[in-house]
């Protein structure tokens, strides 16, 4: 009996064939996740203007942890086994604590648009981590298309005059490295646990630590902030830390970590747009050129094996 290509999941070491339903669904879910993530830097920038960056990083995870616990209870999700628990520690270190903390500290001094172009390296880091952690083996054509997208982004970065590397850049680059690992491990784990359960268990397991740190920061510095700061905090807690990962991990699991991870090449351009619209940061014609180049490269990575 012939099995439909659409029914074949993105198992370890393979990617779904381009044009199949799994590939299309993975791309759509990944794109939705990227859209939600693209507002994270502007929202974080607004939040850390008044709130302690440690509170923003750990508090957002604590709030999302409450939502995650409610979700797991509502659906009756089974508990992860010991091997899955070890893998969840990597997810926690990468996307629950590491990236939010490092980016929150960096955005105290850096602009949202500056941070957006630095994290353009995240899709490349995710693709490398997909080989190491998700055991995928993308084709040469995929790497060429992904590399072209990376070059387009780096040319854009150079055009912005970001030649000097400061402390914020170092923090953001470190955030990229550990976030790529967390994305890849979470995407691989989502094949067994499902996307929502993967991020929810990571949030629940880290909840005691995140709540404790957020409480200590609150006792030390208080929670004096205006409405805009709290709105930014609310977004990163609910959309960036919780809802965005439902779509993102489901997309990585269904469409392949390496391929769907390249959709995030569009995130820096989207973030630049939000930064201009919401924060009044300057965005010139070069951003539009970069947008077209990046989106073309993303489209190619979705069509090759």
pLDDT in tens, 123-174: 777 766 766 565 666 677 767 776 777 777 667 666 655 555 567 778 888 8
Structural domain contains residue 252: yes
Inside any domain, residue 240? yes
Query: Global pTM?
Result: 0.80
Residue 11 — very low, low, confident or very high, per pLDDT cuts 50/70/90? very low
Residue 8 lies in a domain: no
Whether the CB-CB separation of 195 and 249 falls below 8 Å is answered with yes
Contact 224, 49 (CB under 8 A): no
Q: Are 199 and 245 in contact (CB under 8 A)?
A: yes
The parent domain of residue 285 ranges over 25-303
Question: Does 230 fall in a domain?
Answer: yes
For residue 13, being part of any structural domain is answered with no
State the helix-helix crossing angle for 53-75 and 40-48, rounded to 10 degrees: 130
Rounded to whole angstroms, the Cα distance separating 236 from 107 reads 14
In a domain, 14, yes or no: no
Our count of domains for the chain comes to 1
Residue 1's pLDDT band, with cuts at 50, 70 and 90, is very low
Distance separating alpha carbons of residues 87 and 245, to the nearest angstrom: 16
> What is each CA distance from 32 to 36, 91, 118, 240, 284, in whole angstroms?
6, 20, 21, 11, 25
Residue reference for tokens 């994290």: 119
User: For 140, how many CA atoms within 13 A lie in the half-sphere containing its CB?
Assistant: 0
Looking at residue 111, its pLDDT comes to 79
| Residue 12 covered by a domain | no
Residue found by looking up tokens 């044009």 in the block? 19
Helix H or strand E encompassing 49: none
Q: How confident is the model at residue 268 (pLDDT cuts 50, 70, 90)?
A: confident
Are 90 and 182 contacting, i.e. CB atoms less than 8 angstroms apart? yes
Look at residue 175 and tell me if it is in a domain: yes
């Amino acid at each position: 009996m012939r099995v439909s290509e659409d029914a074949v999941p993105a198992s370890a070491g393979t990617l779904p064939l381009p044009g199949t339903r799994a590939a299309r669904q993975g791309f759509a879910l990944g794109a939705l996740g990227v859209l939600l993530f693209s507002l994270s830097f502007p929202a974080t920038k607004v939040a850390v203007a008044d709130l302690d960056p440690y509170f923003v990083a750990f508090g957002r995870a604590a709030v999302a942890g409450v939502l995650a616990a409610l979700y797991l209870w509502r659906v009756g999700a089974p508990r992860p086994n010991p091997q899955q628990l070890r893998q969840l520690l990597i997810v926690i270190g990468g996307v629950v604590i590491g990236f939010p903390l490092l980016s929150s500290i960096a955005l105290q001094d850096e602009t949202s648009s500056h941070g957006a172009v630095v994290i353009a390296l995240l899709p490349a880091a995710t693709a490398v981590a997909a080989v190491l952690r998700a055991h995928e083996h993308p084709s040469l054509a995929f790497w060429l298309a992904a590399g072209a997208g990376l070059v387009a982004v780096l040319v854009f970065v150079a055009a912005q005059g970001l030649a000097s590397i400061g402390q914020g850049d170092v923090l953001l680059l470190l955030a990229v490295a550990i976030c790529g690992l967390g994305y890849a491990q979470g995407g691989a784990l989502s094949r067994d646990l499902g996307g929502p359960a993967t991020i929810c268990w990571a949030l629940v397991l880290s909840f005691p630590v995140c709540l404790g740190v957020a409480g200590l920061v609150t006792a030390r510095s208080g929670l004096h902030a205006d409405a805009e700061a709290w709105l930014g905090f609310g977004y990163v807690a609910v959309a960036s830390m919780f809802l965005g990962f439902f779509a993102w991990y489901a997309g990585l699991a269904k469409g392949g970590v390496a391929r769907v991870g390249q959709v995030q090449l569009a995130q820096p351009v989207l973030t630049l747009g939000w930064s201009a619209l919401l924060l009044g940061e300057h965005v010139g014609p070069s951003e539009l050129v970069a947008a077209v180049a990046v989106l073309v490269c993303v489209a190619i990575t979705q069509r090759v094996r």
